[in-house]
Amino acid sequence: MQPPLSADSAVTTIPSNLYGMALLNDPLYNKGSAFSAEERAQYGLAGLLPPRVETLEEQVVRAYEAFIDSESPLQRHIYLRQLQDSNEVLFYRLLSEHIEEMLPIVYTPTVGDGCRRFSHIYRRPRGLFVSYPERGNIRQILANRPNKDVDVIVVTDGERILGLGDQGAGGMGIPIGKLSLYTLIGGIHPSRTLPVLLDVGTNNPRRLADPLYIGWRHQRVTGAEYDAFVEQFISAVELEMPGVCLQWEDFAMPHARPLLNRYRDRILSFNDDVQGTAAVVLGAILAAINVTGRPLIEQQIVILGAGSAGIGVADYLRAALVGKGLSELEARARFFIVDKVGLLHSHRYDLTVEQAIYAQPWDNVAAWAKGDACIIGLSDVIEQVNATILIGLSTVGGAFKQSVVQTMARKVDRPIIFPLSNPTSLAEATPEDLMRWSDGRALVATGSPFAPVDFAGCAIPIAQCNNVFIFPAVGLALAACKATRVTDAMLIAAAEALGRCSPALRDASESLLPHLENARRVAARVALAVALQAVSDGVAPAANEEQLRQRIAGAQWLPAYS
């Protein structure tokens, strides 16, 4: 279970300038009906609240009833967002007590609908919109942030929201949701987080034609103009918030890795789609191979999807293979990556530098091609390779066909199959089908939440490969250890720590990843591994394990009234 909530981590003293309705309208300091009689007199609240003074626990009961009464997931998402905008302590306390039920509403998969409908469900401003027409005024925009001391920024340009594509200004739902999890699970104080939307336009015709669209109604800025705009933003961040951690989120492939590479050695930053996804998948894979008993260096890995997430996963798995003793060439040979054109191989001249690393030598795979087009599809690869691991990051719903899964299951006793695309409708296969097609032998983790699968009289839990097990812990570690950079070794350390937390290590029939009710405790363990690696990498001040453990515990805010 999670550690008990403690008043020791309550919000700070109410500022003297907050009085009457101004206090009730401030989500960080508002207690609503929980203000005591003394506080009501002190802060001019007499008559503005019902006479009964309630406890936080009583408020949670009422808030949960309102949540349950909401008719659809989207309505529940809207309700929780409104609660967050009115009383953050109550919001986070409610989530902490119903985390498994509410995480899919606050974040994936419901946040996808929230982004598509963002302009229609918009109620109250949160975060900063930095639009291209205001590019000469970015520092002043950052200076307008509601809270001056910020530990973590999550920034997106809205171009690749989950698997839904370009949502323009609606992409702001993702930074808001991500930062909620930084607080809920990592314990970062909500006042020290800042969601940011870089509004460079949208190429989504539905958004452009929507009369209620709240973003800049313009085609996307590209090329040198786009790069210059991002540079202006980063320069302003350096001046206004030196040392802040910046998480790049849901940038399209042409921008995701170039931006990461351009700025990773200049500012404290990482890309959750590239590095966070890779780390959580690596953690789940390490847990799965412990169940199979087959070591990592014996795995043959097929990945469907060669975007930033797919290549990021391959990079971390490759690093882990090299760490186990394989050479670079030997490690690369274990990967068979398929995109919408087919297998990446050396006769393809459309590959990026990052993709080309995993191109199979054409001479080794030429016989697999059917016809004269040099195209080798997923089914061809599965027929030819004794694949032990199949990972989907393609955003193509149903891409793992029955024939593919059954062919794989004939060759390996416990196939490891991860359909990771979000939201649920874009998953490459459902866990139920995977279990049925593999006679219950598949080890499954998914990108979106799925209920346990009933098979042969047993309820088989399905792990959700959710980045929530990684990025909140990384943010917590960075705040606690005062790191100046994020290294890949730090993310790999996070993955290894997550793998060590797997319930399947104690019971092979259990989930590959921890239960969400334990996410906060797991975050502290993962954060410690990240902080230790940061010190080892020389990007954080010297500290021993006990010092870091204490700093991490001290950095975790818990929702309670003062």
Q: Residues with catalytic annotation?
A: 107, 178
DSSP string, 206-261: HHHH-TT--S--SPPP-HHHHHHHHHHHHHHHHHHSTT-EEEE-S--HHHHHHHHH
Select from 410, 413, 412, 442 the least CA-distant residue to 429: 442
132 DSSP assignment = G
Find out whether 116 is annotated in a ligand binding site: no
Residue 20: C-alpha distances to residues 40, 44, 118, 392 (Å): 9, 5, 31, 53
* 417, 443 contact by CB (below 8 A): yes
Beta bridge partners of 246: 153, 269
Find out whether 422 is annotated in a ligand binding site: yes
Select from 424, 429, 532, 420 the least CA-distant residue to 473: 532
Token pair in block for residue 418? 């991860």
DSSP H stretches of helix in 333-427: 353-356, 362-365, 378-384, 402-411
Other residues' Cβ atoms within 10 Å of the Cβ of residue 371: 6
Find out whether 238 is annotated in a ligand binding site: no
User: Rounded to an integer, what is the distance from CA 205 to the centroid of its chain?
Assistant: 27
Find out whether 85 is annotated in a ligand binding site: no
Find out whether 204 is annotated in a ligand binding site: no
* 153, 249 contact by CB (below 8 A): no
Taking the C-alpha atoms of residue 341 and residue 187, their distance in angstroms, rounded to an integer, is 43
Find out whether 466 is annotated in a ligand binding site: yes
Q: Are strands 453-455 and 458-460 parallel, antiparallel or unpaired?
A: antiparallel
Which residues define the annotated binding site?
Answer: 160, 249-250, 273, 422, 466
Which residues define the annotated binding site for (S)-malate?
Answer: 160, 422, 466
Which residues define the annotated binding site for a divalent metal cation?
Answer: 249-250, 273
